[in-house]
Chains A and B, each alone.
Chain A
Amino acid sequence: MAGQLYDSREIQTLVFRVKSGDQQAFALLIRATEGLVTQILFKMVPDHEDRRDLAQDVYLKVFRSLPGFRQDAKFSTWVGKIAYNTAVNYLRKKKLVLSDPSLKDGEGAATATQWAGDFPAIDLVLQRRELTATIQEALSRLAPLQRTLITLYHQEEQSYEDMAVITGLPIGTLKSYLFRARKALKEILINQFKLEPI
């Protein structure tokens, strides 16, 4: 998982300290959660300078909203939700696409009878560096929402429940989007290596 993990009691103590007026404790809260925020912004915001500005905006919003934060909620998920909403607002302002319109709700799993005919055999002897570069490239071709979902699940190891809180999507929709995004990655990987059909 990206970023450092802190004991939830230590985080609660830090939140309590910030709420009590100890601003220095906020720097530790930033360091505890900036990995997740950075991942979300990198997957949703294309411009490097804008990402830096938005990252600061996210934490200023977190600081201002902290008095309303309930201690029973998970702090990192709450911060992730603020980061996600900030990025969505940015995309709206810039008139950029959040999600691939072809990924509709309810377009469930294809059965093997649908895929067996065009599924290529894959050479599994790929060098890791080549594989990682290919996945990185494939990921960049997905829509921001799909990139973010993939990253939250596979790199940040967020649960479906936490991802639902962060993105505001119902879990069923989220699973459907994630399925499509993974499938798209698989297809890009297959095409990239020009694999022969079975």
Chain B
Amino acid sequence: MIKQHLSEELLQRYAMEGISLDGADLLHLQQCTACQQLAETYQLVQTGLVHLAQPSLDMDLAAAVMAQLPASKPTSEKALAVVLVLVVLALAACIGISIQLDFSFLQSGTGPIVSGLIGLTAVGCLVFMLVSSWQDFHHKINQLNKGNLQPSNGAAV
């Protein structure tokens, strides 16, 4: 005769959270009608809960909120573009001064010209990398704006 049943909390978690029972508890459950019935009732509650309909506010919440947001400030994209242009202009000015100095010292040898060319190439590479990163960033942002945010199962927001 069964004297001690499983606790209601254990049966509830077994039925509604899917926890596993250890050997003795599982054996008890297999042999005890009362515990089986309680577990089945909780499984029924669980079934009812997962099939409840998702409630709706009957409104376009995003549109309603967006209409109330304060006017947007200039985006950092614009600010970044301004900074980028300023940096390029500053570099160009430095290179221009450097080349001018090189020409004034032409009589002293070709060393300064070669170093100027190396500097110019380095700046060119830097500008190319910046432009490339900028285009890549814009491509990704455009994809997001076109609604390419695909829901993905199991991923947490």
Contact = CB atoms under 8 A, between A and B. Distances in A.
Interface of A: 2-8, 10-11, 13-14, 17, 20-28, 30-35, 38-39, 41-42, 51-52, 55-56, 59-60, 63, 74-76, 108-116, 119, 121-122, 124, 126, 128, 131-132, 134-136, 139, 150, 154-155, 179, 182-183, 185-186, 189-190, 198
Given A7-B152, A31-B62, A189-B41, A2 B54 contact: yes
B65 A56 contact: yes
B145 to A, nearest CB: 7
12 contacts: A5-B157, A27-B65, A34-B61, A59-B65, A76-B156, A111-B4, A112-B5, A119-B34, A119-B37, A122-B37, A155-B50, A155-B54
Contacts of A21: 72-77
Top 9 closest pairs, chain A to chain B, by CB: A112-B5, A109-B9, A135-B48, A76-B157, A21-B75, A20-B76, A42-B55, A30-B62, A154-B49
Contact of A182 (B16, B53, B151): B16
Contacts of A31: 62
Interface residues of B, number: 61
Interface in B88-114: none
B44 A124 contact: yes
Nearest to B59: A52
Given A112-B7, A154-B16, A6 B34 contact: no
B69 interface: yes
A8 B154 CA distance: 10
Contact of B8 (A13, A55, A183): A183
A33 B157 contact: yes
A134 B8 CA distance: 22
B30 interface: no
Contacts of A114: 8
**DSSP class of B's interface residues: helix, strand, loop or mixed?**
helix
Nearest to B33: A198
A13 B144 contact: yes
Contact of A39 (B55, B144, B149, B155): B55
A10 B42 CA distance: 37
Given A59-B65, A132-B52, 15 more contacts: A6-B155, A7-B152, A17-B144, A21-B73, A21-B77, A27-B65, A38-B56, A109-B10, A110-B7, A110-B8, A111-B4, A111-B5, A116-B34, A132-B51, A198-B33
Nearest to B35: A112
Nearest to A21: B75
Contact of A74 (B59, B63, B68, B156): B156
Interface in B117-157: 140-141, 144-145, 149-157
A9 to B, nearest CB: 9
A190 B40 CA distance: 12
Contacts of B59: 52
A59 to B, nearest CB: 4
Contacts of B50: 154-155
